[in-house]
Every structure is written in C-alpha cells, then in structure tokens.
Amino acid sequence: MSDTILVLDSGTTSTRAMAFSPDGALLALAQAELTQHYPRPGWVEHDAAEIWDKTLACARDVAGKLGGAETIAAIGITNQRETVVAWDRDTGEPLAHAIVWQDRRTADFCETLRERGEEARVQASTGLLLDPYFSGTKMRWLLRNEDAVAAAAERGTLAFGTIESWLVFKLSGGRHITDASNASRTLLLALDGAQFDKGLCDLFEVPGAALPQVVDNAGPLATCAAQWLGREIPITGLAGDQQSATIGQACLAPGETKATYGTGAFVLTNKGSEMPHSQHRLLGTVLYQLGGERIYALEGSVFVAGSLIQWLRDSLGLIKSAAETEALARSIDSSGEVVIVPALSGLGAPHWQADARGVVAGLSFSSGRAELARAALEAMAHQTWDLATAFAADKAAWQRLRIDGGMSANDWMAQDLANMLGITVERPDFVETTALGAAMLAAAGAGIHPDLATAAQAMRGELARFEPAMGDDVRKERLGRWQKALQAS
C-alpha cells in the first residue's frame, strides 16, 4: 500500500496540491492562482467555485504525476483562515462570493459591539478580539445583505464554513465539518467548548444550524469520493494555515514559536494545555485537537507582509519580482530614513486599528527604488518587534524564532529579523511548512506515523540559522523612526 500523502493547500492568492513522502520529501506540486475581487475599498472577495475547481484540478494534476490515485494513502487540507463561504447544502453551490479574511466591511458592527461593552466577554470566551478579521461578523453580513443566503437560511439549507469546510463538503459529497483550529477563528467557539457556542451565535446573529460539526485535526475525518480522483481516499488531516505551519515547524512543546511571512505575517507560540488569555491584545487560539484534547497557542497577526511586496510590484511597478528586493536591500547601507508602515488593510496585532492606513515616511530626493524596497523588508522586522514586545508582556517571551513562508526565503530579511529581535532565527530548508504541517497531521491521522510528534520528527528537514549582529544604537534609532511613523498611520 502507498504511503504518499496528498496535501491541498488553499491559500489567499493561490491554491496548490502537493504530494509528500513519509520522510517529508516533496514528490509533486501543482499550483493555480486565485482571482482577487475588490468590489469596494476595504472589501476582498473570492469565488468559492473557482477555489473548488482549481483545487480539484491541482489535485488531479498531482495524482497524475504520481501515477494515479492508487499511490495516495491519505489527504490533508490546510487553508486561509477566517474566509467565509456560504453555500446550499442541497445543491452544493455557493450562494455568494466568499468574504476573505482581509475584508474590513464589518468594522462598524465590531465597533458597535465594542461600544456595548461586549469585547471583554468575547475575548474571555474565544481568545479573540472584536475585529472584521474573524468569521462570525462576515456570516452575519452575508445573511443581512445577500438575498440568496437569507433565503437558504429560511429553507434550512444554508451551510456556512471556512475554506477547509467547503473543500471537505465538496470532496466528500456532503460531509459538513470543520477542524478545531479553524473553528477557533470564527468568534463562535469558546476555547473550552466542544462545539459552537449558542450564546456567541446569538450575539453575532448566526444560525447554529448552518454551522459545521467541530472535529479533531487528525484521524478518519471524511472520505474523498471516488468520482474526483479515481478511488476513495481518506481525509485524515485538517488545519488552518498558521496552525499547520506551527506544526510543520515542529513547535509541539510549550514556548516554541514560529512566524510565517506570507500574504500576512503570523506568529504563534505553543501554550500547551493552558488556555491563553492575553492582556496585550494578542489572540488565544486552538493550535490543534487530537482525541478531543486541545493544545493552545498565543497568536499575533499582522495583516500585510508579502502583500506589501506585491503592492510594490503590481500597483507601483517599482520591482518586477519579489526576489529583486533582496538585491536592492543589499545595494545600499540603509533605507535613508525611509520607513513604511504597511497598514494597507488596517493594523493587526497588537494595535488592532481597522481604520489605520499605510504610511511612507522619511522621503527625500535621495530616496529611490532601493530605499523603498529595503524599507518594505525592514517593515517586517518592525512589525515583528511590536509582536515580540507584546508576547513578552504576556509572559511568553521568545527564546528563538522559527520562520517560514515565501518571504522567509529572503536571506537579508531573515538576518534583519535576527538583528532587530536580538535572538536566533531558524529557517528550514523547505519553507512551505504550512503544507508540511498538514502532511504531518494526515500522516498521523492515517497511521503512517504512530503520532504527531513522530511525524514531525521524521518529516522536518534541515535548518539554517541567523544570529543577531546589530548594535543597540542602530536598533534603537530604527525603532524610534518606526514609532513615529506608526503614530502617523
């Protein structure tokens, strides 16, 4: 019997299928870009039908490269979190565009709830803050503003879910589930609650009947129907992308910390079985659930990371590719006092300012492409420093930082992180740890490895290390400019 694991990695800008061996080697890959819809300022949408079609096409492509579905032992799925899909259970078709995690259209409703004094109890229960980022307010908006969604709710055929829930429903022919890590990002699940909380559903005006069943992150979760890949294949691993990357970095012991630099930037510190409650506007979240038992994490979420580089490329035309930024940063000794605050969709943790806007400060006639590119990379370390300060204040100081995601391949940025944070930064040779974490979960869930710890040990690769090499005076000067620019945002 084959022991190859197929991972479906449905991200924000693309969806991929990747095949892994039990030792973590990447055997095959297929990828397709996803269309980004921006109907109004601050609104971001996806077509859920496109996500399904392209994910299935990628899965079939990889299965073909492997020699057929009989080579695949299990499927793992990881996904962009918080993005909400509304579909009809009977037809299996979307009822509206999916609202993406970056979307800010529910900011006014979040502010209304804050003014009513609801945030403290919501945070105490869910570990989350009242912000448009999370899924619950998106569901309420769809019910109130999309006639097809409201009509399906009246008929009793409405299904809400995040992207992994949507893909499992399509693959399995109707199984409606969500894993605990994704469920914990909705504002509708108490950190210690087995299923979605009725009181929270009532607060956000979301019908509980439309929500999926909350399940473990690994095990016999669902079955991919034979019609899609040629034979039935068990789905044995599910996780939100940031939890999956934390697992892929083998951060399985309390205190171990990873940072993923993708479209956004996300730092998670393993808190073990201790439910996290931040006093510094960080988030408590479920890292994973196995056998009904939960491991938690403290999380800091930055909304704009790689998307800032994409903006420099696509909107301003300053670079032709993201890879150019490293050479540009190395071509000069400093950013010439240019500072970028990348609040292009508000500020995330620890600030949580939905109405903040991006700032480019310190421009002069000597500022050019190189200075702007370097300032964009420096913004990653500045935002991470803010998070490090908040984690330390919550008694979760980082001893070292494990980084991954597309941006982490940039050696200049990795060294800058070590310099600004003053700690060792580790990067695996294979930086796509989001998919690798889903493969670890699926391998454990299918019995390819006996447990998650064994899977992580067997499948994690070699590491590169970056040690701090910056004077305190340089660090202090940069942080001073960063703080002034933050105030302007």
Alpha helices in 266-399 (DSSP H): 306-314, 324-330, 369-393
- Residue 458 — φ and ψ, nearest 5°? -75, -30
pLDDT tens by residue, 104-156: 999 999 999 999 999 999 999 999 999 898 999 999 999 999 999 999 999 99
125 close to 200: Cβ distance less than 8 angstroms = yes
Indicate the pLDDT class of residue 263, thresholds 50, 70 and 90.
confident
Indicate the pLDDT class of residue 41, thresholds 50, 70 and 90.
confident
Between CA 210 and CA 405 the distance in angstroms is 33
pLDDT winner (highest mean) among 75-79, 260-264, 406-410: 75-79
| pLDDT value for 184 | 97
| pLDDT value for 1 | 56
pLDDT, mean of residues 254-279: 91
More confident residue, 24 or 351: 24
Residues 6+ apart with CB under 8 A from 275: 127, 191, 192, 284, 296
pLDDT tens by residue, 470-484: 999 999 999 999 999
470 close to 337: Cβ distance less than 8 angstroms = no
Q: What percent of the chain has pLDDT over 70?
A: 100
Indicate the pLDDT class of residue 398, thresholds 50, 70 and 90.
very high
- For residue 457, the Cα-to-chain-centroid distance in whole angstroms is 23
For the chain, domain boundaries: 4-242
Q: What are the angstrom distances between the C-alpha of 337 and each of 36, 334, 391, 477, 484? A: 33, 7, 27, 10, 12
Task: Please tell me the CATH code under which domain 4-242 is placed.
Answer: 3.30.420.40
pLDDT tens by residue, 341-379: 998 878 878 887 877 888 999 999 999 999 999 999 999
Tokens of 143: 């019910």
213 close to 177: Cβ distance less than 8 angstroms = yes
Indicate the pLDDT class of residue 264, thresholds 50, 70 and 90.
confident
Burial environment of residue 374 by CB neighbours within 10 A (0 to 12, 13 to 18, 19 or more):
buried
75 close to 235: Cβ distance less than 8 angstroms = yes
| pLDDT value for 300 | 92
pLDDT, mean of residues 379-388: 94
Tokens of 344: 């292009």
Q: What is the pTM of this model?
A: 0.88
Mean pLDDT score of the chain: 94
Residue 77 has pLDDT above 60, yes or no: yes
Q: What are the angstrom distances between the C-alpha of 63 and each of 9, 92, 166? A: 15, 24, 21
pLDDT, mean of residues 286-292: 97
Phi/psi class of residue 330: alpha, beta or left (left: φ > 0; alpha: ψ in -120 to 50)? alpha
